[in-house]
């Protein structure tokens, strides 16, 4: 993941004529796994080295060519909007000090925009958060990126998924192989290979199955490219696991449906992913990305060697 200061110029991935141009990023969850840190601060604003997790995610969407980014926010999420807005007082102070590098860093996040915002009145689940974007998205395919799931920018995923969506006309999920004992923390996919293709057919999906009930060790991670038919499926999805409206349940219905917008496909991702949504994943993300920083990576690694021994 590269440092932001030198990145005012965007290199948009060539996504081979994909028609997808909108991104929905749900950030309205309660962040309970990080309490009390997230009592008054969104978990998507936790710093990964020196930029909040959400900044990496918005950056990824824009780099993949998604020019219209919608954040689904909620109560106590003001900091997110402030982060992507101008900060005139701070900018003026940095200008007066002549600190160009920090000024660039501060202006960088507001130059990513303009972003759009819709509020999810109550955090009723990821599926419900996506449904809140219906009016903004309209009747076109769109990407969903979870604001706490980071994909290393050296490993391409989203552009590939967008191409698969355009080719198949269905919905596309990103899958990783996990240790079987970890599957109960994820949505899980049962798949079959499609001859001659590097993506797979998803036959069924189940949210957080027990290890005994899991049909595979393929876990759904936080990148989706969805057909707008998912909105109707979500409208008629009853609250599932933990009383929340699950995106996985709506996708399960599309996987087994027929007609326009049906069919779910999977892209199996073998690159670097950092799950900053839980404490251990967050710490690993910070250490991995910090150890790659030119300015202190070597010092950090030398210190870690000593610390571990
Ligand atoms: P998470 O499960 O990681 O977020 O959802 P959470 O609900 O805040 O998690 P806990 O409380 O720590 O377990 C993935 C993403 O979906 C968003 C979250 O903000 C997070 O970025 N989300 C989740 C919503 O926008 N709305 C919801 O109702 C639930």
> For residue 148, how far is its CA from the centre of ligand 1 (angstroms)?
8
Q: Set out the domains of the chain in order of their start, with CATH numbers.
A: 22-277 (3.90.550.10)
* DSSP per position, 242-257: GG---HHHHHHHHHH-
Pocket test for ligand 1, best of 126, 150, 220 (most atoms within 8 A of CB): 126
What pLDDT is stored for residue 34 in this prediction?
96
Average pLDDT per consecutive 10 residues, the chain (309 residues; last block may be shorter): 42 62 97 94 96 97 96 92 96 96 96 93 96 98 97 95 96 97 96 95 95 96 98 93 91 92 96 95 97 96 95
Q: Whose CA is nearest to atom 12 of ligand 1?
A: 31
Residues 169 and 159: their CA atoms lie apart, in Å, by 15
Closest C-alpha among 57, 63, 60, 69 to residue 22: 69
Question: What is the model's pTM?
Answer: 0.94
- Locate the ligand 1 atom nearest the alpha carbon of residue 73 and give its number: 25
Judge if the beta carbon of residue 207 lies within 6 A of ligand 1. Answer: no
Q: For residue 39, what are its two tokens?
A: 């009592």
CA 153 to each of CA 11, 62, 97, 116: distance values in angstroms, whole numbers, following the listed order: 11, 12, 32, 23
- Locate the ligand 1 atom nearest the alpha carbon of residue 42 and give its number: 19
Judge if the beta carbon of residue 28 lies within 6 A of ligand 1. Answer: yes
Residues 166 and 186: their CA atoms lie apart, in Å, by 26
């Amino acid at each position: 993941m590269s440092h932001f200061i030198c990145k005012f110029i965007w290199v948009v991935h060539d996504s081979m004529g994909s028609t997808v141009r909108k991104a929905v990023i749900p950030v309205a969850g309660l962040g309970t796994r990080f309490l009390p840190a997230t009592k008054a601060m969104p978990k998507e604003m936790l710093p990964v080295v020196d930029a909040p997790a959400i900044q990496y995610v918005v950056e990824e969407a824009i780099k993949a060519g998604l020019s219209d980014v919608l954040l689904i926010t909620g109560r106590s999420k003001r900091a997110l909007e402030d982060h992507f807005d101008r900060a005139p007082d701070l900018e003026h102070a940095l200008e007066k000090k002549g600190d160009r590098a920090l000024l660039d860093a501060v202006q960088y996040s507001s130059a990513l925009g303009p972003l759009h915002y819709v509020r999810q009145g109550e955090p009723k689940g990821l599926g419900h958060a996506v449904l809140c974007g219906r009016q903004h998205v309209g009747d076109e395919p769109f990407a969903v990126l979870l604001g706490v799931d980071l994909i290393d920018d050296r490993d391409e995923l989203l552009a590939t998924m967008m191409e698969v969506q355009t080719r198949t006309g269905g919905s596309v999920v990103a899958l990783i192989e996990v240790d079987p004992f970890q599957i109960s923390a994820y949505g899980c996919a049962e798949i079959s290979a499609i001859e001659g293709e590097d993506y797979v057919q998803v036959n069924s999906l189940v949210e957080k199955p027990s290890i005994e009930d899991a049909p595979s060790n393929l876990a759904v991670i936080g990148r989706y490219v969805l057909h707008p038919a998912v909105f109707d499926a979500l409208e008629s999805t009853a609250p599932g696991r933990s009383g929340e409206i699950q995106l996985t349940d709506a996708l399960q219905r599309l996987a087994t449906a027929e007609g326009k917008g049906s069919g779910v496909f999977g892209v199996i991702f073998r690159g670097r992913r950092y799950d900053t949504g839980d404490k251990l994943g967050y710490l690993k993300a910070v250490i991995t990305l910090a150890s790659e920083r030119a300015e202190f990576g070597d010092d950090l690694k030398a210190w870690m060697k000593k610390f571990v021994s």
